[in-house]
A and B are shown apart, each in its own frame.
Chain A
Amino acid sequence: MPTVTITVNGKAVTREVEARTLLVQFLREHLSLTGTHVGCDTSQCGACVVHVDGQAIKSCTTLAVQADGSAVTTIEGLADGQTLHPMQEAFREHHGLQCGFCTPGMIMTAVDFAKNNKNPTEAEIRQALEGNICRCTGYHNIVKAVAAGTAAMNG
């Protein structure tokens, strides 16, 4: 079995994994980081989005071995201790969630977007979130949250 070394939320971890192990399985099953969710199993709903070397990717269709040597950030690694990341705070404050199952992926996508789009239009935010499905909110508050979170991150 291959050995992978991945820096997850700032901590280097080395594990032997089956070659077919998905990154999301590695995070959830090997590291018990269950904040990253699996919604559709086929990289369409976006509940599984994490950052690999700072870039948002869908971890349900990425192999753990593909992340070997990379730095992975999950939803658990976003807050600074008890202080929420500005995007997390924005989702809470603007009611950008209901059942919350899509929320971790939604936030990880939004954080990556906000890093590269300092002053986005609402249309750009909507475009950026096309790969993240929410069944509860109708997206209205999610868009508001991403706008506020982006402003706070870049403020």
Chain B
Amino acid sequence: MNAELPIRPGPARGQVRESRPHDSAIKQVTGRAFYTDDIVEPAGTLEAYVAQSTEAHARITRLDVAAVRTAPGVRAVLTAADVPGVNNVGPVLADDPIFAEGLVEYVGQSLFAVIADDVRAARAAARLAVVEYEPLPALITVEAALAAGSYVLPSVTMRRGDAATAIAGAPHRLAGRLEIGGQDHFYLEGQISLALPGEDGDVTVVCSTQHPSEVQHLVAHALHVPVAAVTVEVRRMGGGFGGKETQASLFAAIAAIGARVTGRPIKLRLDRDDDMVMTGKRHDFLATWDVGFDGEGRLHGLKAMLAARCGYSADLSAAICDRALFHLDNAYYIPAVEAVSHRCKTHTVSNTAFRGFGGPQGMMVIERILDDVARHLRLDPLEVRRRNLYGDAGRDVTPYGMTVEDNVMPQLIAELVESSGYQARREAVAAFNAANPILKKGLALTPVKFGISFTTTHLNQAGALIHLYQDGSVHLNHGGTEMGQGLFTKVAQVVATEFGIDVDHVKITATTTAKVPNTSATAASSGSDMNGKAAQAAAQTLKARLAEVAAAEFGCRPEDVAFADNRVSGGDRSLGFAEVVTKAYFARVSLSSTGYYRTPKIHFDKDSFTGRPFYYFAYGAAVAEVTIDTLTGEYRLDRADILHDCGASLNPAIDRGQVEGGFIQGMGWLTSEELVFDGRGRLRTHAPSTYKIPACGDVPAEFHVTLLRDNPNTEPTIHRSKAVGEPPLMLGISVFAALRDAVAATYDDPAALPALDAPATPERVLAAIAP
């Protein structure tokens, strides 16, 4: 019965710092990693389709679904009247109806759902509904919303010193304007939920979500049942990127309501076009500024306005727009700042979390400002960037009052300048441009300093649950979700390291609200920081119990018991790990423990917009070199060099993968990925045919990615590592800056400031080159 795991001599495998492959790699390469749509459906499963508004802003004067109900294969039609509880899935404010009631506020808004034998029948039947509208004036763009004073939330100002006076007294002054486009997540696996009805009105929802607890809460409210009656589970997602933080709830709720109404399992899977139309995206921003600086390019004061297209509801826009303000400084000291953030309400889909969470837009603004300052002064933008970096006391406090304690940026940039051969290449680019009238090259180095923690302080908590079984195998569960980022692999390595056993003995299990409750979203790059610590705490509790058992056996003190090499040792004796676990069982010692972690030190006062919202910063920098064709606007990224700070990495291979993928995703955001809404608020780029994410050929042939060495986190994070999910995305800003550098080379006047908005599509590049 007690089949002990084989003990292998030598060091345990899969400890922290090892470049282990992703835990699911073998399943993923053989097609045996199950995503939600791959789970064997229970008998009787029905499928759902969600009918959508075709108007951006209108009163619904008639919604007649009689013909839908009698269509072939249809089992039920769900409207607002069929919601047993609250007809809302708003994550912060109650402003996201499950089904529209009388009013629609964006094209793609959910009107009703059809439950049928299969989705094809459901989709066909949905067309039979009679929907009549009385159109209302629609605000589609940020500018229209600003002009109308239309906001989802009050505006917020971040202020330090007297910016107006500082600007007025500065030797130089520039004003500017930048449009920054949004971005579709384009996770390869679209939104999907499978709802399974249980007894007592319970429901289990298998859902592709980064936030199982929130889905659980919102489904419970929609069903009017206690939260404990709902279980949400996710083993893995086919990508998330923030798009499955709040956006999964609507579809989970509809599936759950369908399960309640029909008593059958309900699958709701969006096809790609519906997914792109119905779900929120990265906020597009409009920024304007007035900046004062000296002849060296040092900033004296900055007044800025950041307006975000939030869409029709608040979603997470408050925290996202706050984070844009928190990153308006990026890596730079700005003595006097007054920055206002407007959260514009438009009649478009409600924008949401996306890797970086507003930070990228804030950084784009300051990087453009420094680019302008440098060009105005005819200096190399890199030189101006370096002069403005955070420094020693007096230049080390952010506009929101947080001291930058571990500023590695000056050294990091110096290292990257050296390794990338920046100076020689700057000269080579100038020589190339002098010699070539048609093709022009551009080069740019941009830094990233990104704050790590949820800025909503209470979210910075995590839980884990570990069971030990008598054969020494370990069952690991925590509140984090796996979306490809390698979280499960890293946390398993943490646990394996605590017990000193091979990571293969740690069974990684699906995230479920039934095991670890009240979790935060796997977001804000915080997954391994928080869940790693929580799992470590659970493992340490169990280790202490095992040490007592082993100490009694060995005749030594518990604190002298060591866990390593798949063995437990003390004095001159040792036992296999599994043997000790078995002895603990017979000694009637509990072999199950929870673990809990809350991030220390952080606090923030929303009213004064000051505090320490971040536990620490992650740093990085990238050099991009591009070539543009001035006849067509087409371009290539020729080379990218990246140096990124992961602290003491838990798994260097996984972290490098995050850096590479984040950089390319950031490049896509600022170059080829263009969301086009027409005048009626219809998204015209709702499939990969028209919405272009980077393909394999867009990646530079020369792509050098290095992790910063010998830089453990100065804070006691999990094994002194640093979060890596979001920060590398903003390294892609270097590509945008390099494109502008190439565009600037078409002007005779070196002080020209070409107008180039993001995304810098070939059309925009062509329009921006010298007339």
| A interface list, Cβ under 8 A from B | 28, 32-42, 44-45, 47, 74-76, 78-79, 84, 88-89, 91-93, 95, 97-104, 107, 122-123, 125-127, 129-130, 132-143
Contacts and interface: CB of A to CB of B under 8 A. Distances in A.
Q: Which 5 A-B pairs have the closest CB atoms?
A: A35-B31, A99-B484, A101-B238, A100-B28, A138-B664
Contacts of A98: 22, 239, 484-486, 657, 661
A138 B665 contact: yes
B276 to A, nearest CB: 10
B690 to A, nearest CB: 10
Contact of B661 (A78, A101, A136): A136
A32 B663 CA distance: 36
A32 B31 contact: no
Nearest to A146: B696
Given A95-B21, A135-B241, 7 more contacts: A41-B271, A99-B483, A99-B484, A126-B697, A133-B186, A137-B660, A142-B696
Interface string B484-516: 111000000000000000000000000000000
B689 A44 contact: yes
Interface residues of B, number: 59
B697 A97 contact: no
A135 B187 contact: yes
Nearest to B482: A99
A107 B27 CA distance: 13
A15 B34 CA distance: 25
B688 A100 contact: no
Nearest to B22: A97
Contacts of A91: 25, 28-29
A20 B241 CA distance: 34
Interface of B: 19, 21-22, 24-35, 37-38, 40, 185-190, 236-241, 271-273, 483-486, 653-654, 656-657, 660-665, 687-689, 693-697, 699, 701, 703, 705
Main DSSP-derived SS at the A contact region: loop
B160 to A, nearest CB: 37
B26 A92 contact: yes
B38 A34 contact: yes
A101 B696 contact: no
B661 A103 contact: no
A37 B689 contact: no
A84 B654 CA distance: 22
5 contacts: A39-B190, A99-B484, A100-B24, A101-B238, A138-B663
A127 B695 CA distance: 10
Contacts of A135: 185-188, 239, 241, 661, 665, 693
A122 B701 contact: yes
B242 to A, nearest CB: 12
Contacts of B239: 98-99, 101, 135-136
Contact of B188 (A35, A36, A133, A141): A133
Contacts of B188: 37, 39, 45, 47, 99, 101-102, 133-135
B719 to A, nearest CB: 20
A100 B699 contact: no
A123 B701 contact: yes
B449 to A, nearest CB: 21
A50 to B, nearest CB: 10
B189 to A, nearest CB: 5
Given A97-B22, A135-B188, A34 B687 contact: no
Contact of A35 (B32, B689, B695): B32
A138 B188 CA distance: 14
Given A98-B484, A102-B188, A133 B25 contact: no
A87 to B, nearest CB: 8
Contact of A140 (B38, B186, B699): B699
